[in-house]
Structure 1
Amino acid sequence: MPEAESALAQADPATQEATRSALQRARRAEDDRARARRIAEEAATLRADAETRATREIDQALEGSGIKDRSWLQKAWDTISTPFRSWDDFVAFAGTIGAVAGLVVLVIGTGGVAGVILAGVAVAAGAVVLGDALNKYRQGRGSLGQVGLAALGVLPIGKGIALAGRGARAVMGMSGTIRGGGGRWPAPAP
């Protein structure tokens, strides 16, 4: 800017008059740029202060509430212990373990020690599921079909048959839904 003003001072009066307004606009633009820079610096300072204050207040609130960020070890323990928190969760877990162990026994056979151990796990898990099915039937919350599938699941070879039975039951339920809908698939829920 100073160089432009000194060059303008040496120019003739007509040129000075023509360029004076452009020089004033340039000064105002420089002032605006300086103001914008100052505002941006103030905004950055305010943001940093707000971030620090928010972090401090969140930490204070968490200290007083008893809520704490759990470590990965605590999260892993919660995941592992979930099947053992209620009987229904345990039965579902035992059914899954029994099905997997039974299928592995079917694939590798019972000739080795591992096969015998897996067969024992499958039988024990099947017994848990059978006991639950009998208890639910006794209370009127289960059917003889569920008891039959659970009894079949106690045998390691019966795991595959029991899984096939559950799959057939699901297919029969779908066919009833299709028949109830006039032969069409049900429309997706909105």
Structure 2
Amino acid sequence: YQATARSIAQKFPHVDYLFVGAGTTGTLMGCKNYFAEHHPHTKVIAVDTVGSVTFGLPGETRHIPGLGTSRLPEIFEPSGIHDFLSIPEEQTIKVCRWLAQRYGLLFGGSTGTVLAGIQQWAPNIRPDDVVVTISPDMGERYLETIYSDDWVSQRIGAAALHPLFPEIALALSA
């Protein structure tokens, strides 16, 4: 509330959508409360990982650390959140790997999950909307996990190694 949300509001005076990852939900709750009070037009979209119980979905095995919980955080209060998205780990991996291959950006699993959420929500975003997200982690801690073909194949499945945008991958390799 006092730091992250206030900083976002100072940098971006008008925000249509704020996408926030849901781990312990501290950042999510602070942002939701701040924007509800100071910028009520901003729609806060929570992004979580499949297998997390935060939004009442069944708990499942999760392999990528960062987002998601095995028990409901005590501080979590869903009222005021515009919507929430639940992203499969396969999609997180595809987004992270695509950003690394296409742009040389090495992001971590939490960031990849939130960016996959924005990708999922994209049909709802108008061209003039201001979209802000929080990128909570970089990819150096994930070199032996989401950036390892063996690790991904063993834990998530070989389908996660397929390119996010096959047509772009073909063009780049030509």
Please report the TM-score for the alignment, with normalisation by the length of structure 1. 0.23
Higher Cα radius of gyration: 1
Structure number having the greater helix percentage: 1
TM-score norm. by structure 2 comes to: 0.24
Which structure's relative contact order is higher, taking Cα pairs within 8 Å and 6+ residues apart?
2
